[in-house]
């Protein structure tokens, strides 16, 4: 019996296939294509990436900090994280060519962990801003920054997931965050996350300590909107309806049946207790498709509508619950600052 079992075992083991020379050539070509993409993106964006040094008052003493940022206009506007520059009494920027410049804070938004600073310098190389609405999980991304003071450090990985929520230092949730496994370390904060074409698709924000390859970036579409408001007004006055949401595609049959002007919406992941949405009857799992008469295709659209909404005035919230379309009256409130 033992001999029979041995024979069956031997027959069940398939021979290990031998690598063919042409297979190795394909692998080499793929590796070279990956390398070319990373190198090209890094060379394109690195001239825009800056090192930011700050001085703060901490418990009555002066302390220093550092982070990253990137130039996004020819006249010296720089995007970075709010937690890098918030409350700083002095901000200095070091450009890739070695020049140093004192920066002024244009405005910061702790709710999205974004800030805009500005320097007075010539011959700047602004980064090209992409469209974070077009990225997909598995897509190649490159992070560039100054971790631990090492300038223009390049790491690469993929988009691990989209539509994450991340709690900012203000205590509020940042919606529609990009998760990536491109390594981030202290000092990377505020640097660009770019695609293979060298377009910025996110602002690197945080990594989970102790985890491997779980890092986050604020989507560039959110950053564009926030930066424009900060440049115009210096701050963002926000209203809220008390939901945490995530972008989600809508089934075609629902789009046709309800004649919806959008093919995506905001799925409610959390309803804040005591907030306007709870009072209006919004439930977890509802998908918001319109607010105050404006189509809502994603969380960025909802944020824009809330920023412009009147406080305490009834607004119509259109949503899909199951297969039914519902209209609810909601009264946006001004967020209380921490």
Catalytic one among 189, 264, 305, 318? 189
How many C-beta neighbours within 10 Å does residue 257 have?
A: 11
* Alpha-carbon dihedral 280, 286, 291, 292, rounded to 10 degrees: -30
238 contacts 307 by C-beta, under 8 angstroms: yes
Q: Checking DSSP bridges between strand 199-207 and strand 128-129, what pairing results, if any?
A: parallel
List, in sequence order, the alpha helices (H) in the chain: 2-12, 21-45, 82-85, 220-233, 252-258, 276-280, 299-308
**Three-state secondary structure call for residue 42:** helix
> Distance of CA 285 to CAs 145, 229, 290, 315, Å?
37, 31, 15, 20
Active site residue 240: no
> Distance of CA 45 to CAs 24, 120, 125, 188, 190, Å?
32, 20, 9, 15, 14
> Distance of CA 282 to CAs 8, 92, 271, 319, 333, Å?
62, 46, 7, 9, 15
Active site residue 108: no
CA dist 219 and 133 (Å) reads 8
Catalytic one among 46, 66, 82, 83? 83
Catalytic one among 108, 113, 175, 247? 113
How many C-beta neighbours within 10 Å does residue 9 have?
A: 9
Active centre residues (catalytic): 83, 113, 189
């Amino acid at each position: 019996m033992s001999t029979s079992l041995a024979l069956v075992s031997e027959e069940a083991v398939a021979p290990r296939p031998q690598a063919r020379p042409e297979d190795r050539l394909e692998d080499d070509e793929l590796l070279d294509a990956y390398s070319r993409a990373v190198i090209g993106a890094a060379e394109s964006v690195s001239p825009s990436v800056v090192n930011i040094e700050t001085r703060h008052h901490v418990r009555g003493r002066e302390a220093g900090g550092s982070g990253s940022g990137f130039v996004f206009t020819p006249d010296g506007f720089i995007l970075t994280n709010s937690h890098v520059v918030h409350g700083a009494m002095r901000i200095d920027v070091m450009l890739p060519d070695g020049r140093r410049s004192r920066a002024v804070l244009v405005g910061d938004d702790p709710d999205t962990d974004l800030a805009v600073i500005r320097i007075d310098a010539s011959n700047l190389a602004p980064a090209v801003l992409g469209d974070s609405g077009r990225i997909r999980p598995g897509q190649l991304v490159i992070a560039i920054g100054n971790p631990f003071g090492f300038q223009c450090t390049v790491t690469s990985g993929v988009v691990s997931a989209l539509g994450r929520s991340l709690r900012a230092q203000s205590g509020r949730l940042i919606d529609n965050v990009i998760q990536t496994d491109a390594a981030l370390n202290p000092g990377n904060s505020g640097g660009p996350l770019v695609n293979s074409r060298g377009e910025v698709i996110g602002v690197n924000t945080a990594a989970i300590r102790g985890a491997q390859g779980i890092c986050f970036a604020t989507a560039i579409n959110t950053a564009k909107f926030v930066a424009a408001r900060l440049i115009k007004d210096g701050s963002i006055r926000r209203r809220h309806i008390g939901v945490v949401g995530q972008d989600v595609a809508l089934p075609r049959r629902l789009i046709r049946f309800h004649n919806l002007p959008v093919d995506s919406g905001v799925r409610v992941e959390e309803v804040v207790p005591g907030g306007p949405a709870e009072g209006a009857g919004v439930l977890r799992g509802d998908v918001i498709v319109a607010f105050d008469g404006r189509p809502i295709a994603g969380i960025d659209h909802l944020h824009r509508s809330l920023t412009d909404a009147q406080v305490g005035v009834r607004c119509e919230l259109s949503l899909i619950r199951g297969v039914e379309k519902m209209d609810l009256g909601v009264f946006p409130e001004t967020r209380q600052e921490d």
